[in-house]
């Protein structure tokens, strides 16, 4: 009877020791998980703040361009250098259709609907080029262009223009996809037109973090 009691006490002590070790390990795991979660939250906050600052800067540049149309060309070259090079290459290869190409950038860093209007288009040809990063081409669900004939200040009924994908290996190698639009008639030296570009993207915005494991919950 005495031996059985001693054996039982040893088993109880061993069980208590094992429970204590498991409890200490669980507390350490919990602390590590909480630490990783705080780091992830801090990183997300920093990234979000950077995105907000970038959006504010782009909005300010866009407002400056609208207020001072003469600065629009510099803004385009700054925001889309690769697209401009690809567009110039395409224009050089097809001089019979387009003697000069103007690149129209369209921001896509927000879930809100955005419309970019550029006025006037100082191009005497009928073909205009709309660049799009190849990384966003697979997310493009709809692309439309509307033009306004007559004087820009007196906006008449918009006219839908055809949008066509430009297939060129030289352009794809630059990481840019180009869409061409054809005006109803070439612009003369004294004429101008207003063009609205509409693009709808799907599955473009991604959550941060993209995946949360069971240990992070």
Cis status, amide bond into 209, omega within 30 of 0 = yes
Where do the domains of the chain lie?
Answer: 2-55, 81-201
Record the pTM: 0.38
| pLDDT tens, residue order, the chain (217 aa) | 677 777 777 878 888 888 888 888 888 888 888 888 888 888 888 888 887 787 777 777 666 655 554 444 444 444 444 444 444 444 444 433 333 334 444 555 555 555 555 545 555 456 666 677 777 777 888 888 887 765 555 556 778 888 877 766 555 566 777 777 777 777 777 777 777 777 787 877 777 777 777 777 6
């Amino acid at each position: 009877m005495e031996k059985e009691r001693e054996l039982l006490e040893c088993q109880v002590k061993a069980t208590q020791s094992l429970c204590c070790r498991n409890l200490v390990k669980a507390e350490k795991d919990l602390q590590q998980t909480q630490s990783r979660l705080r780091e992830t939250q801090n990183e997300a906050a920093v990234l979000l703040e950077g995105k907000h600052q970038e959006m504010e800067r782009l909005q300010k540049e866009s407002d400056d361009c609208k207020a001072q149309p003469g600065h629009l060309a510099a803004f385009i070259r700054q925001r889309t250098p690769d697209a401009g090079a690809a567009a110039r290459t395409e224009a050089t290869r097809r001089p019979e259709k387009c003697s000069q190409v103007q690149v129209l950038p369209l921001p896509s860093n927000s879930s809100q609907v955005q419309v970019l209007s550029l006025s006037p288009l100082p191009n005497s040809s009928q073909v205009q080029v709309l660049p799009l990063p190849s990384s966003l081409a697979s997310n493009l669900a709809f692309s439309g262009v509307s033009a306004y004939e007559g004087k820009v200040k007196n906006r008449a009924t918009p006219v839908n223009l055809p949008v066509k994908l430009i297939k060129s290996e030289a352009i794809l190698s630059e990481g840019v996809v180009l869409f061409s639009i054809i005006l109803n008639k070439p612009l003369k030296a004294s004429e101008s037109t207003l063009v609205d570009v509409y693009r709808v993207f799907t599955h473009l915005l991604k959550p941060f973090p993209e995946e949360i494991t069971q240990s992070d919950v």
